[in-house]
Structure 1
């Protein structure tokens, strides 16, 4: 049975993140300041992780092994960032983003992680906008998006030819 034969994943895949959140050991808020977290890398993933953990109250130390944090590979991401917001009304959905991402990764992706990414994709765009990332906009002021990477729907939000740099500046 192929991945496209079932419209919405059911069972363990769509419940994996919720199950993990419910079973993980909690850290007392008073103890968070006693825990040091080391983040290696200051690209989009490292910068976002460091900001989120610091906001939660952990002591975060970030290390950059390049000569500057601005040399992160995230700078090279020019095409845009995908989210299943369905602005064009072309039938986009979290499941379709999940399927396209798994297919685009030659079916080598960790499906539970890709599914969670598809679930939070719309919130990621909203978070980036609130941090000041200057995504392209239509004449009416709404966020513009385009079809990118061979998909049949328009879900790529972009900041001209410098999306990676703008996302990185927003994270900083």
Structure 2
């Protein structure tokens, strides 16, 4: 269970009770669904056009929501994500070296000096596989092996090779992929 001071709204993660592995599944089950026919009636506001904001806005628009995206910088290219040069981790286990969602979860929590919200880190580890697939679909030119498969490397002291990279400019390539998807949705209206 996440630790927080009783009554402290900042530290309370609002995570459902239960084992970490099942919290987001419980939350998704308890959330109200939106009928696809009603999505056009709803407007979602996304603040920030960095990697997270740009990807979220593009994905929500693809799902049928009306999206208003705001950038409070002079340029969306000022996003901090552009500095991510090392790569992006995912528990795809391409090298068959024993990687798993649980191992990625543990390495991420440990790498954050045990100060992260465990429920959110576990969910990130769960969806990491899909995030890589989404980035590839958006056109991110990840490094590839000679056979054409995505290449991975060990990064950040991890014992497994789970880092997908695009030379020394992974953050920039991820942003460009997100922006292309966002521009496509802008073009579609």
Tell me the distance in 2 between the aligned counterparts of 1:57 and 1:140: 37
Aligned to 2:125: 118
Matches within 5 A, 1:4-23: 11-23=18-30
1:71, distance to aligned residue in structure 2 (A): 1.4
Matches within 5 A, 1:158-169: 158-169=165-176
The one-character-per-residue Cα deviations of 1:18-77 (angstroms, maximum 9, x if unpaired) are 111111122333332222211110011101111122122221111111111111111111
Tell me the distance in 2 between the aligned counterparts of 1:155 and 1:28: 37
**TM-score, normalised on structure 2?**
0.81
The one-character-per-residue Cα deviations of 1:123-152 (angstroms, maximum 9, x if unpaired) are 111111121110011122211111100111
Tell me the distance in 2 between the aligned counterparts of 1:127 and 1:54: 15
Aligned to 1:127: 134
Aligned to 1:142: 149
**TM-score, normalised on structure 1?**
0.89
- Cα RMSD (Å) of the superposition? 1.2
What is the DSSP-based 3-state SS (H/G/I as helix, E as strand, rest coil) of the residue aligned with 1:33? helix
Tell me the distance in 2 between the aligned counterparts of 1:105 and 1:145: 22
What is the DSSP-based 3-state SS (H/G/I as helix, E as strand, rest coil) of the residue aligned with 2:69? strand
Judge which range, 157-166 or 126-135, deviates more: 126-135
The one-character-per-residue Cα deviations of 1:73-122 (angstroms, maximum 9, x if unpaired) are 11111000001111222111111000000001111111111111111111
Matches within 5 A, 1:6-45: 11-45=18-52
Aligned to 1:107: 114
Gaps of 5+ in 2: 1-17, 180-189
Tell me the distance in 2 between the aligned counterparts of 1:25 and 1:121: 24
Q: Runs of at least 4 residues of structure 1 off by over 6 A?
A: none
What is the DSSP-based 3-state SS (H/G/I as helix, E as strand, rest coil) of the residue aligned with 1:98? helix
